[in-house]
Structure 1
Amino acid sequence: MSEVEKKTDLATVISDLEKVVKEKPENVVARHHLGLVYRQVGRIEDAIFQLEKALELDNQSMESLINLGAIYFDQGDTKKALELNEQALAISPKMAEAHVNIGLIRQHQNDVAEAIKSYSLAIQIDPKLITAWINLTSAYTMNEEDAKAVEAAREAVTLEPDSAMARNNLAVALYFKGDYAESKQNLEKAKELGYSIDSRFVDALNEKLG
């Protein structure tokens, strides 16, 4: 599907959902999905409005809480994003995605120890959640726990061998652990998979390899 076709298709989806919401303002699902599509096309204020309306109608809607939290995080409002994810956990303490989101917020706030705790909780709940392993790798690297970073990165690659981000994270973790040859192998694989490689990292790695 071309970009023009995608835009036309999204415009149709928006039009259809707007019609449903106008006819049935109490339709939580329609408001939720309209908010998601608005976000996708960059209509952030409209997205926030619809998701907040969905929550007014159903304050137990975890998906609306999570997605609204993601928007606020993108907007730099980590306090609001944290509040929304904590509300989701109050409803469902074993919602792994919310634990990952809280970890990401804590990591963004440079509270790496708490971020690691949140990612670890998410993994306990869902050991196959690759975003938790990817983010845990990054947090361990920030915390200079290189062996643990490599271990987490290997888990991510095992789960999704063709994840470009997982491969890049493994390359970085291996670099800091001193395994330069294997680091380069994974960096090349990440590049093959479409990851935008940091040229400074390439230079540093090549220097180590001589």
Structure 2
Amino acid sequence: MKNLVYISLLLAPIFLFAQDEEDEIKRYFFKDGITSIERWYRNDKKLDSLKTYYQSGELNESFHYLNGQFHGLSYKFNKSGEKLTTWEFAKGQLVERTDHTIDFNKKNEEKVKKAHSDLKALNEKLSKNPNDFRAYFTRANIRNFLGDHVLALNDFKKIEKNIPKLSKNKQIPEKMLGNIYDNLATIYEGYEMQNHCIHYKLKALKASPKESRLYHNLGAYLVKVKSFRLGIEYLNKAKAMVPNHSFANWLLAVAYTDLEDYEKAMTHVNTAIKNEASIYKRSTGTAERDLWTTRGLLYHKLGDTHKGIIDLEEALSINKDNSFAYRNLGVIYFDLGDYAKSCQFLQKAQQLGYEKTHDTYDLQSYLDVACVNTELSQAKTELSANNTIKLVNKPYAYPNPTRDVINLKNLTFENYEYLIFDYAGKLIKQGVSQGNTPINLSNLPTGVYILKAHDTATFETFRIIKE
């Protein structure tokens, strides 16, 4: 019974999943608690309807089902509540698609219109031959591109289910398999289902191990969700395949900055800056934590504050609403003791939504000092420093990824119980470690796992990848 209690306590924060048994509703949530997916089930446990939401909380897509198949009218909305698309289904078959508004801009108009035209042709083709694998694959990619994520997910999951059968008749190209799993990962990323996303990024790598972009994609996502050390491992694998990999070097700079290894971070950011044109060519160019924002703080940390400020001013000339650049300027002037100027920049970062955008909550401790009377600053600075655990000193697992055993470092306890869950939240292993002995994972399949270690009062959570 004791372990059952632990399991119920641990699963909710990992998977952000809740169920209302009375209404037979299952929900997933974004990190800030807003619902991402709602599923309604009949008394016979079959899916009745499904809704998805934007991260800001507005309804995105709404589908109805009969015996687990799409049925009746379903809709897609924009954030203003305007109807974009209506689908009519009959027992899983698409009868008609009506686009009330086609959403495009000057840069992607041609591509969007072609996607709609191709989609119409594919729907007609699949209505006549529902077993056309390549048509399903192409349609899934187009649906994903157009933001029809529920339908794209349904197509990709159908393909995934049939991969063993299809592979018996004809070998599926590695890149196509990698693309299938990578698209599944991208859809789950949009719903902030982190462990599902990582699970499919790993499957993409296993299916197509020669593609450096897949190593980068996994590493970049791990850094995004603050699994820095794990992300570094995969970014370095991408870099080993392509030494001057612009994006990998950029993300390595970000990861090492947060781990306070500033010299390594500077080496990587300078390599990335040499290939800055490649980064802007292959991305939207709107990332706030861009090369100049990253290097600006690094110059300051390595003793060349003047150059750091110049870089951050350059970042703001590129994007005047770059909250991360304002945050870094606030930190620099804080370190210089110019609390008035620091307060000004930190407040601007806060107004621009820095903490929500970057899921980083470090502004308040600076604001509490910078925006009060200077005679209180020294005492509050010391208090803030004493109460902050640096990321580099927080508990972590190693080696990670691993092939056999895992060790836990920087724990505040030596003897503990542990629980290991797979990516979908199923408890697959538990045990006790005495004296922080290594945990053996050699008998587990490859994949992503969540390890929970706890003594009587403290819980620590680790994301582990078994190779």
Same fold (TM over 0.5): yes
Distance of 1:177 and 1:99 partners within structure 2: 29
Do residues 202 (structure 1) and 367 (structure 2) align? Answer: yes
| Residue in 1 that maps onto 2:316 | 157
Distance 1:75-1:185 versus aligned 2 partners, 3 A rule: closer
Aligned counterparts of 1:199 and 1:81: Cα–Cα separation in 2: 27
Runs of 4+ off more than 6 Å: none
**Number of matched residues?**
209
For 1:16, which of 155, 175, 178 is the aligned residue? 155
Query: Do the aligned partners of 2:346 and 2:363 also contact (CA within 8 Å) in 1?
Result: no
Partner residue of 1:131 out of 290, 304, 318: 290
DSSP-derived class of the 1:31 partner: helix
> Residues 138 and 169 of structure 1 are in contact (CA less than 8 Å); yes or no, is this contact kept in structure 2?
yes
**Alignment match, 1:168:** 327
Pick closer, same or farther for the CA change 1:105–1:75 going to 2, 3 Å.
closer
User: Can you list the C-alpha shifts for 1:159-207, whole angstroms capped at 9, x where unaligned?
Assistant: 1111122222223223434555554443443333233482442343333
Q: Distance in 2 between matches of 1:61 and 1:102?
A: 18
Distance verdict in 2 for CA 1:46–1:121, change over 3 Å: same
**8 A Cα contact 1:72 1:81, kept in partner:** yes
Report the Cα offset of residue 122 of structure 1.
Answer: 1.0
Q: Is the 8 A contact 2:347 2:367 kept in 1?
A: no
Between the aligned partners of 2:336 and 2:312, the Cα distance in structure 1 is: 12
Q: 2:160 is aligned with what amino acid?
A: V
The verdict on how the C-alpha distance between 1:188 and 1:46 changes in structure 2, with shifts beyond 3 A counting, is closer
Contact 1:174-1:182 within 8 A present in 2 as well:
yes
Counterpart of 2:248 (choices 70, 83, 98) is 98
CA distance in 2, matches of 1:89, 1:114: 14
SS of structure 2 residue aligned to 1:93: coil
Q: Is the 8 A contact 1:35 1:47 kept in 2?
A: yes
Partner of residue 30, structure 2: none
- Separation in 1, partners of 2:206, 2:354: 40
- Structure 1: 5+ residue runs without aligned partners? none
Q: Give the aligned partner of residue 202 of structure 2.
A: 52
Q: Which has the larger radius of gyration?
A: 2
What displacement does 1:10 show? 4.2
Whether 1:76 and 2:231 are equivalent positions in the alignment is: no
Deviations 1:12-69 (A, max 9, x none): 4322321233345743212111112223334334323322222223223233212211
Match for residue 120 of structure 1? 270
Q: 1:174 to 1:105 in 2, by over 3 A?
A: same
TM-score calculated relative to the size of structure 2 = 0.39
- For the residues of structure 2 that align with 1:75 and 1:185, how far apart are their CA atoms? 28
Aligned twin of 1:61: 211
Letter of the 2:154 partner, please give it. Answer: S
**Deviates further, 145-154 or 115-124:** 145-154
State the SS of the aligned residue for 1:162: coil
What is the letter of the counterpart of residue 366 of structure 2? F
Unaligned runs of at least 5 residues, structure 2: 1-52, 63-147, 165-171, 356-361, 377-467
Local SS of the residue matching 1:60 = coil
Distance of 1:66 and 1:41 partners within structure 2:
21
Please state whether the residue corresponding to 1:170 is helix, strand or coil: helix
Specify the code of the residue in structure 2 equivalent to 1:35.
Answer: A
Asked if the contact 1:180/1:209 (under 8 Å) is kept, the reply is no
* Distance (Å, rounded) in 2 between the aligned partners of 1:160 and 1:209: 35
Cα distance in structure 2, aligned partners of 1:35 and 1:190 = 31
In the alignment, structure 1 residue 5 sits paired with structure 2 residue 56? no
Residues in 1 aligned to 2:152 and 2:298: alpha-carbon distance in whole angstroms? 38
Normalization by structure 1: what TM-score?
Answer: 0.78
RMSD: 3.2
